[in-house]
Structure formats: C-alpha cells, structure tokens
Amino acid sequence: MDYEKLVNVMRRLALEAGDKIMEIYNADDFDVKVKSDDSPVTEADEAADALISAGLREAFPDVLLITEEQASSHSKTGDTFLIVDPLDGTKEFINRRGDFTVNIAFVENGVPTRGVVYAPARDRMFLTLADGSAAEEVAPFVAGTMGVVRPIEVSNADNGALMVVASKSHRDQATDDYINKYAVKDMKSAGSSLKFCLIATGEADVYPRVGRTMEWDTAAGHAVLHGAGGKVVRFEDHTPLTYGKDGYANPFFIAYSPTVELKPA
C-alpha cells in the first residue's frame, strides 16, 4: 500500500464528506429514517457514504471496502480492508450537539494502521501520517493540501487521579460500575470516535466501552490512538481488539494510555 496516497485520499474524502454533512446539518430540516437494527440514518449519512465510497473505490479498486451504510459489504470477509463510518454519532447529529465524525480507516492483518477522524462541527481533524504516527491538523482545512499538523501522544497517566472519557449517548450502570474501580480525577463525555482521539491527545487517559459497537465505529479512532502510543483491548481478558471479526461486531473493550493500570472486568 502507498501510505502517502492512502492518507491523502482518506483526508480529502473526509473533508469533502464533512462539507456535505454540514450543508445538511445547517439546513432548517432533514430527513431521518430508521434502519433494520432500529438505529437512525439521515440523508447526511447516505450522501457522505456515496461520496467516500466512490472516492475509495476509484483510488483503491483492489482493496476490500466495508462501509456501515452498505449492508451488502457486511457479508464480505478479509483481514485487510478499508472500513468507513461516513457519519459516526448520528444521534449527536440529529440532536445538533456537534459530536459527530467522519471515520475512514485501513485495517491490515486485523489491525487498524491508518485512519482519519474528522469532526466537522468541531473543526478538529485527527489522522495517522504515512509513517503511522498520529497527529492533529490545525484548522482551517484545505482539501488538496495538508496544513499545519502537530504530533499527538497519549498521557503519562496519574493512576491516583485519572481522566476518564465515556459515551455521551450510551452511558449505563455497567459502565459506571467499572469506572468506579478507578481513582478518577475528572470525567468527560463525548460522542462518536472522538473518545479515542481525546486519549490520543492526552486529554483523557481511559475509555471503557461496555456496550455494542461495530468495527466501522472504532477502526479510525483505534488507528489514531495506536499511532499516538495507545492501546485498545477486549474488556473481559485485556487481549488486543482485532478486526475482520464475524459480522464486523466488536466485543466490549477498553481504550487507554498504556500507563493506566487496568482493572479487571
């Protein structure tokens, strides 16, 4: 894989999709439908998916493409593939809370190695560079040219005063029970894959997810966190979270800075 080309294409498509999403987000009204799994989907999800899918297929025609909004792709299997969530955090989008992202990632041998997470309503762009390191690009963004980027890395966590980030829309008692095992200085809530990015930048130390997610929800954020020195492990046994699983469904997991002393499930 030509990683320089890959990163540039993923970044450009994320920005173009973000522009399309914000057009719809800033409109007076937009259509919301319900998918077969009872999750919401908007015209923004569908427009962003069409744009990203076409761009990836043109640039990388021989690479398997998995995308949330194309159910026909979910039956395809492999351990090396592109995976897309064109609008992660649809509930945040519908409620106009801003914590939604465009997620595009490349998985190699079951590991997300390159990814872009773009939060258009927050003007934040997180990505892996061609060498696999993670960075945050500084706004304003220009589609054809990467601007100023600053390297990011995970925190040196203080286990006596941890910064925890949890889901804004999917918080539950099981999550709180696990968080209570730690000495917590402060809690943050965030929507979508931004939670991974807050750990990647050192703004948080640990993110436990005791709830349903799919690989397209997590791959891009996982890649960014990996590039920043972080880890993502299964909740039950702390083994690495891998990709290309049956149906692209994730088990519960923990994303964290390696200096965090993980508690058992």
Task: Give pLDDT tens digits for 156-208.
Answer: 999 999 999 988 666 788 999 999 999 999 999 887 799 999 999 999 999 99
Look at 12-21, 111-120, 167-176 and tell me which has the smallest mean pLDDT.
167-176
| 191: Cβ contacts below 8 Å, ≥ 6 apart | 89, 91, 92, 97, 99, 100, 167, 168, 169
For the entire predicted model, the pTM comes to 0.95
15 is in an annotated binding site: no
198 is in an annotated binding site: no
Does 137 lie in the same domain as 179?
no
43 is in an annotated binding site: no
**Structure tokens that stand for 78 in this block:** 């492999």
89 is in an annotated binding site: yes
Instruction: Work out the average pLDDT over 132-148.
Output: 95
User: Per the domain annotation, does 58 fall within a domain?
Assistant: yes
Instruction: Tell me which residue of 123, 121, 125 sits closest to 23, measured CA to CA.
Output: 121
User: Per the domain annotation, does 134 fall within a domain?
Assistant: yes
Does 88 lie in the same domain as 212?
no
Instruction: Work out the average pLDDT over 88-99.
Output: 88
Give the chain's domain count. Answer: 2
User: Per the domain annotation, does 261 fall within a domain?
Assistant: no
| 96: Cβ contacts below 8 Å, ≥ 6 apart | 25
Cα dihedral value 165, 168, 170, 174, nearest 10: 40
- Domain ranges, residue 33: 3-151
Does 179 lie in the same domain as 127?
no
User: Per the domain annotation, does 128 fall within a domain?
Assistant: yes
68 is in an annotated binding site: yes
37-46, pLDDT tens digit by residue? Answer: 767 788 999 9
199-246, pLDDT tens digit by residue? Answer: 999 999 999 999 999 999 999 999 999 999 999 999 999 999 999 999
